[in-house]
Amino acid sequence: MPISLIILAAGQGTRMNSDLPKVLHKVAGAPLLVHAMAAGAALAPDRTVVVAGHEAEQVRAATLAQDETALVVVQEEQLGTAHAVAQAAPALAGASGDAIVLYGDTPFIHADTLAAMIAARARHAVVVLGFQAQDPGRYGRLVTQGEMLERIVEFKDASPEERAITLCNSGVICADVQLLLTLVAAVGNANAAGEYYLTDIVALARARGLSAGVVLCPEAETMGVNTRAQLAGAEAAFQARARAEALENGVTLTAPETVFFALDTVVGRDAIIGPHVVFGPGVTVESGAEIRAYCHLEGCHISRGATVGPFARLRTGAELAEDVHVGNFVEIKNAILDEGVKVGHLTYLGDAHVGEHTNIGAGTITCNYDGVFKHHTEIGANAFIGSDTMLVAPVRIGTGAMTATGSVITRDVPDDALAIAREQQVIKPGFSRKFFDRLKAAKAAKGR
């Protein structure tokens, strides 16, 4: 059955006290909105509609960066969650099957939970995701009678008896897509907030003799972000889960509480991650690779048997083949290192390709930027780059070639050649002694 995903992301998030719309604040390196989209994407939806409002253009850009097939509709005025869903109607014309409504500020709903809601649609026309709240606070309350969900009452509109209910509304709702659109069109705004509540569709469905039910999930999944403190709490919750999952999957974390993962980090079995390692977006670490302490990685791939760090920085486009060694204080950006390459110390490799088993000496720098353009450095296999070589790109070092320590290489080096590009050493006998004697004498004369 086809599935449509509707993600509500129009709110400003006033309590974030931010110029950035709330759904674009990040947890684990990804906007909150992207977390919701990723959970929904696991259902392989036919259509994904994001309802944007505040800073709609920024929200549109983030949506399309994640899924270029997603549709973005704009809710000009934020008149309530039912009104927000109604804005998706044109984008859902002709759609059939079920629709799931998610909130862009609720990042941790599991794909399995959404699948359970779809399954529960066999029993109910409208399925709501509920949870038992430790502190029900201002959540909407689920009013049930046996298995049947009768209605949802918002905190502002609830009686004292209703406020005593601890079964709360997560906000996630599933129903036939066309029924959902019919019901939201019928919602009014005669309530304490003067808003069009999506939650009213339950009572409307019941009034039509349709059944409604609740699927339960752990409260942790329904955690929403409204404040910076909650954003920090969401980050902590994400990291705690990601660390536990990594350990479960056979990854060694020497000090789990100091390692930070991104939403899309992939680490293979038997990889070893030392203390204080930070994964930005887009990192894959294959089985058996080792990342030593204090590394910062993003947009890179580390193959089996490679070792990285301590204190290394791998940036976007760093590709390390098997058994590559990258040591301390090395930065690599947009560079492919073939099998067995060694870059031990204090080096910058940017916009480069290094052939297999080449050794890069300490202090090597690819001078890849002329102030306007970036240029490529090509280093062949089995080459030896002497310590403190400046490779002024564009430049090519041949297979099996060598550069002398301290060279500034501005021209291509042929295969198997040695390039020396530095001053000849000059010896001046006795110079040092005479030089300092003169300076010391001058200082003594001044002191008198």
Known catalytic residues are 345
Complex with Ca ion: residue 138 or 440, whichever CB lies closer = 138
Contact call for residue 307 and ligand UD1 (CB under 6 A): no
CB of 79 to ligand UD1, least distance (A): 5
Single out the residue of 5, 16, 51, 360 in contact with ligand UD1 (rule: CB under 6 A).
51
Complex with Ca ion: residue 192 or 417, whichever CB lies closer = 192
CB of 2 to ligand UD1, least distance (A): 23
Alpha-carbon gap, residue 354 to 403, rounded angstroms: 14
Contact call for residue 139 and ligand UD1 (CB under 6 A): yes
405-444 positions binding ligand UD1, by CB under 6 A = none
The residues facing 337 across adjacent strands are: 320, 354
Alpha-carbon gap, residue 43 to 33, rounded angstroms: 16
Contact call for residue 75 and ligand UD1 (CB under 6 A): yes
By rule CB under 6 A, what count of residues binds ligand UD1?
Answer: 28
Complex with ligand UD1: residue 179 or 404, whichever CB lies closer = 179
Q: Look at residue 131 and give the partner it binds from ligand UD1, Ca ion, none, a contact being a CB closer than 5 to 8 Å depending on partner kind.
A: none
192-211 positions binding ligand UD1, by CB under 6 A = 197-199
Q: Pattern of binders to Ca ion over 219-258, x per CB under 5 A?
A: -----x----------------------------------
Burial class (CB in 10 A: 0-12, 13-18, 19+), 212: buried
Give the DSSP H/E element, type plus range, for residue 326: strand 325-337
Candidate ranges 162-170, 251-259, 328-336, 413-421; the one touching ligand UD1 (CB under 6 A): 162-170
214-273 positions binding ligand UD1, by CB under 6 A = 224
Angle between helices 32-41 and 56-66 (to 10 degrees): 40
**Residue 57 corresponds to which tokens in the numbers above?**
């253009």
Contact call for residue 48 and ligand UD1 (CB under 6 A): no
Which residue type sits at 247? Answer: L
CB of 173 to ligand UD1, least distance (A): 9
The residues facing 284 across adjacent strands are: 266, 301
CB of 225 to Ca ion, least distance (A): 8
Q: Look at residue 154 and give the partner it binds from Ca ion, ligand UD1, none, a contact being a CB closer than 5 to 8 Å depending on partner kind.
A: ligand UD1
Q: Look at residue 217 and give the partner it binds from ligand UD1, Ca ion, none, a contact being a CB closer than 5 to 8 Å depending on partner kind.
A: none
**CA separation, residue 376 to residues 45, 184, 352 (Å):** 41, 57, 5
Q: Single out the residue of 295, 269, 297 nearest to residue 283, CA to CA.
A: 297
User: Which DSSP string do the residues of 171-189 spell out, in sequence order?
Assistant: EEEEEEHHHHHHHHHH---
Complex with Ca ion: residue 224 or 406, whichever CB lies closer = 224
Non-local (6+) Cβ contacts of 207 within 8 A are none
Candidate ranges 41-49, 165-173, 279-287, 327-335; the one touching ligand UD1 (CB under 6 A): 165-173
Residue 381's CB is within 10 A of a number of other CB atoms, namely 17
CB of 101 to ligand UD1, least distance (A): 9
- 362-365's contacts with Cβ under 8 Å and 24+ in sequence apart are 362/387, 362/388, 363/387, 363/388, 363/389, 364/388, 364/389, 364/390, 364/391, 365/389, 365/390, 365/391
Q: Single out the residue of 279, 285, 243, 275 nearest to residue 262, CA to CA.
A: 279
Contact call for residue 105 and ligand UD1 (CB under 6 A): yes
Q: Look at residue 104 and give the partner it binds from ligand UD1, Ca ion, none, a contact being a CB closer than 5 to 8 Å depending on partner kind.
A: ligand UD1
Contact call for residue 79 and ligand UD1 (CB under 6 A): yes
Single out the residue of 171, 274, 305, 309 in contact with ligand UD1 (rule: CB under 6 A).
171
CB of 343 to ligand UD1, least distance (A): 46
Asked if 31 and 25 touch (Cβ cutoff 8 Å), the reply is: yes
Contact call for residue 323 and ligand UD1 (CB under 6 A): no
The number of CA neighbours under 13 Å toward the Cβ of 412 is 9
**What is the sign of the dihedral through the CA atoms of 106, 108, 114 and 116?**
negative
**CA separation, residue 190 to residues 27, 83, 330 (Å):** 36, 13, 63
Q: Look at residue 197 and give the partner it binds from Ca ion, ligand UD1, none, a contact being a CB closer than 5 to 8 Å depending on partner kind.
A: ligand UD1
Give the interface with ligand UD1 as residue ranges (CB under 6 A): 8-11, 51, 53, 75, 78-81, 83-84, 103-105, 139-140, 152, 154, 168-171, 197-199, 224
Residues that bind Ca ion (CB under 5 A): 224
